[in-house]
Chains A and B, each alone.
Chain A
Amino acid sequence: MLQIMEGSHAVAEAAKLCRPEVVSAYPITPQTHIVERLADFVADGELDAEYICVESELSALSVCLGSSATGSRVYSATSSQGLMLMAEVVFNVAGMRQPIVMSIANRALGAPLSIWNDQQDSISLRDAGWFHLYGEDVQEMTDQHFIAYKAAEQHDVLLPGFVCFDGFILSHTYEPVDIPTQEEIDAFLPPYVPYNKLDAKAPLSMGMYATPDYYMEFRYETDAALQRAGDAISAAGKEFGEMFGRDYSTHTESYRMDDADVAFVALGSICGTVKDAIDEMRADGIKAGLVKIRTLRPFPAEEIAKALAGVPTVAVLEKNISLGSAMKGAVGPEVKDAVTGTGIDVYSYIVGLGGRDIRKKDIRGIAALAEKGKGNMFYGLRTEVL
């Protein structure tokens, strides 16, 4: 049944339905509505979980790590500076192979301080060993939580995952959303069965240090598991589709890509605007299309190459900047790498940083630049203040 619900509250409902035993988080805009709602659920007896109010994000994820290592399913959520304060733990959790799911209400990083949306926070941690899912709308980001837990907890994966969605644009927007019932989610997501855990009856040591004789193999194993996470996400997405009618078996979604002369590649809420712009461009005779990336890690290179095959020009819309890099965006080089040798031109466009609005006419402007071979640049700068 569809209900009108704020994005954050839909995420909180999803987290509740996954039955975490421990929830630990620290308030940060625009993540706060999620954890406030979860606190209500615990206070009202709707969620049987330990809700640990910590003094920092460093502790929030560390608490989750401790609980996960002891055998509990756990949940946290953060944004921006909070994710940066957690960064050391973020890497550690992946190396320790704990299947923690954390929501990221995407927000820009300081300085200057900005509470508004871009995707710099999660993209900056793309190499940490977590899988990264990006939602386009409230329904998709809600559903991705169920898929994330299911994929993370597979014993051939055992890796953590981010479920990312644009702060304010999605976290604070009310949309119609179908929230599954507890019975349905219990059928989809069985209780967490740890591969191993801290237990006095079966002692083991976790988080030991590795000498040069072993370290590289640990990294190899983590990378291999992250590649397998891609398959687990697909399988969970397919099963979810069969149960709920919303299929997430692919890591990308193509929109009007048949015969496209220019293709956009993008993540998150911007895809809705891009789709509308594409419809208008198509009406005007401009053959544009979109490849939306849902799974950024593991990077679905093959799927992207297939989706872009035969398209002469690709414009990657980046709500991040890899400062000092040649293409400027972090996603563009990976897309370019995926189509190496095909002759496809790939350009990055830095848009929407720090909450700057992205309009349909900007999308059209970028298409025109890409077709002229102009790219790897900021779009929409106010040159008068530079």
Chain B
Amino acid sequence: MVDKSLELFDCGHRACGGCGPALLARLILKGAGEDTIIVASTGCMEVFSTPYPETAWKVPWIHSLFENAAAVASGVEASLKHNNRTEKVICICGDGATFDIGMLCISGAFERGHDITYICYDNEAYMNTGIQRSGATPYDASTTTSPAGRLSMGNSRPKKDLPQILNAHGASYVATASVAYPMDVMKKVEKAVNTPGACYLQVHAPCSTGWGFDGSKTIEIGKQAIECGLWVNYEMENGELTKAKKVRRVPVEGYLKAQKRFRHLFKPQPVTEEIAKIQAIADANAVKYGIDIQLNE
């Protein structure tokens, strides 16, 4: 057991107020402990935490490029293994680096089965460059490259199911979590770093700037995503779904209405058929992961 009272991600970094990923960095290190090496990709977290000559990281940290964190981590792990060293290797990368540009290196690292934990802080768009869509952007979200307009309802594609893709690589532990449930995040990080082989953790990390909500509501928004079924916290071990957080589901409207990125679905008039499509995504999630609490339970 690691000492969860340690603060290994220091204050004084430059993240926005209420930044989900900043909170996640802190939780990851609480779950992983001091004996950890972090490999970062280019992105928000890298930029707000390491402007030379300052760093927020109290554990060894390396950043190379946008797309190669999983390969750099493979090399770190190979060196550690060769020298019988015991540090845990964790990649912390945004959804752009994970879902899109880094897929090649991630697929290679998971296929080779390096003993690393890859954590995606999923804020559902390229936030560092100014809120452009990624493969993790949800259906109908308005971003600067998938803007809502006279002929557009925002992002036209559903979110890529990356956990399933990495599950198909034979990863022994794949899980999702949300910064809205900090104890769960720490527990899953601890489990992942202590599971041999390549493990994947995808953590919902609301971005007040990119999603358009007040920075004091990060946890609330994260919880709403889970309560409506658009985000599901689950675990897959050795290819099988072993756990999913059950909820008394509420309609998706409340979650959507709370964020500027979905405002076009309600103003000037509610676009009922689009909201229904998003509800259908949540309904499908509920069936797929079995998250609905039945009334007789």
**Quick one: which of A22, A54, A62, A72 contacts B64, CB cutoff 8 A?**
A62
The answer to whether A117 has its CB under 8 Å from any CB of chain B is: no
Rounded to whole angstroms, the CA-CA distance of A39 and B13 in the bound complex is 45
Chain B, 79-114, CB within 8 A of any chain A CB: 79-83, 87, 104-105, 107-109, 111-112
Is the Cβ of B47 less than 8 Å from the Cβ of A209?
A: yes
Stretch at the interface among A88-96, A141-149, A170-178, A294-302: A88-96
CB-CB under 8 A for A62 and B71, given A88-B65, A200-B37? yes
Rounded to whole angstroms, the CA-CA distance of A67 and B79 in the bound complex is 5
Is the Cβ of B79 less than 8 Å from the Cβ of A54?
A: no
Question: Nearest-CB distance from B45 to chain A (Å)?
Answer: 12
CB-CB under 8 A for A62 and B65, given A70-B75, A208-B51, A209-B50? yes
Q: Which of A52, A71, A96 has the most CB of B within 10 A?
A: A52
Residues of A near B104 (CB, < 8 A) are 55-56, 58-59
Q: What interface size band does chain A fall in?
A: 35 or more
Residues of A near B59 (CB, < 8 A) are 200, 203
CB-CB under 8 A for A58 and B112, given A50-B78, A71-B83, A200-B60? no
Question: Nearest-CB distance from B104 to chain A (Å)?
Answer: 6
Residues of B near A70 (CB, < 8 A) are 37, 75-76, 79-80
Residues of B near A55 (CB, < 8 A) are 104-105, 107-108, 111
**Quick one: which of A56, A68, A92, A199 contacts B65, CB cutoff 8 A?**
A92
Question: Nearest-CB distance from B289 to chain A (Å)?
Answer: 30
Q: Which residue of B is nearest A205, CB measured? A: B55
Chain A, 181-201, CB within 8 A of any chain B CB: 198-200
Residues of A near B78 (CB, < 8 A) are 22, 24, 50, 52, 63, 66-67, 72
Q: Which residue of A is nearest B75, CB measured? A: A66
Chain B, 27-64, CB within 8 A of any chain A CB: 34-37, 39-40, 46-47, 50-53, 55, 57-64
Residues of B near A92 (CB, < 8 A) are 64-65
**Quick one: which of B46, B50, B62, B68 contacts A89, CB cutoff 8 A?**
B68
Rounded to whole angstroms, the CA-CA distance of A50 and B35 in the bound complex is 22
The answer to whether A211 has its CB under 8 Å from any CB of chain B is: yes
**Quick one: which of B37, B67, B71 contacts A63, CB cutoff 8 A?**
B71
Rounded to whole angstroms, the CA-CA distance of A55 and B114 in the bound complex is 14
The answer to whether B137 has its CB under 8 Å from any CB of chain A is: no
The answer to whether B72 has its CB under 8 Å from any CB of chain A is: yes
Residues of B near A58 (CB, < 8 A) are 67-68, 71, 104-105
Is the Cβ of B60 less than 8 Å from the Cβ of A65?
A: no
Is the Cβ of B55 less than 8 Å from the Cβ of A208?
A: yes
Chain B, 189-238, CB within 8 A of any chain A CB: none
Rounded to whole angstroms, the CA-CA distance of A72 and B77 in the bound complex is 11
CB-CB under 8 A for A54 and B71, given A67-B79, A205-B50, A209-B51? yes
Rounded to whole angstroms, the CA-CA distance of A70 and B107 in the bound complex is 22
Is the Cβ of B63 less than 8 Å from the Cβ of A208?
A: yes
The answer to whether A283 has its CB under 8 Å from any CB of chain B is: no
The answer to whether A207 has its CB under 8 Å from any CB of chain B is: yes
The answer to whether B256 has its CB under 8 Å from any CB of chain A is: no
Q: Which of B36, B47, B64 has the most CB of A within 10 A?
A: B64
The answer to whether B134 has its CB under 8 Å from any CB of chain A is: no
The answer to whether A315 has its CB under 8 Å from any CB of chain B is: no
Is the Cβ of B64 less than 8 Å from the Cβ of A21?
A: no
Is the Cβ of A62 less than 8 Å from the Cβ of B68?
A: yes
Is the Cβ of A89 less than 8 Å from the Cβ of B82?
A: no
Besides the known contacts A22-B79, A59-B74, A96-B64, 16 further A-B residue pairs in the complex with CB atoms under 8 A apart: A22-B82, A50-B78, A50-B82, A59-B68, A66-B76, A67-B76, A69-B62, A70-B76, A72-B83, A198-B76, A200-B59, A205-B62, A208-B52, A209-B46, A209-B50, A214-B52
Q: Which 9 A-B pairs have the closest CB atoms?
A: A66-B75, A62-B71, A55-B108, A70-B79, A59-B71, A63-B75, A66-B72, A207-B63, A62-B68
Residues on A lying within 8 angstroms of B by beta carbon are: 21-22, 24, 49-50, 52-56, 58-59, 62-72, 74, 88-89, 92, 96, 198-200, 203-211, 214
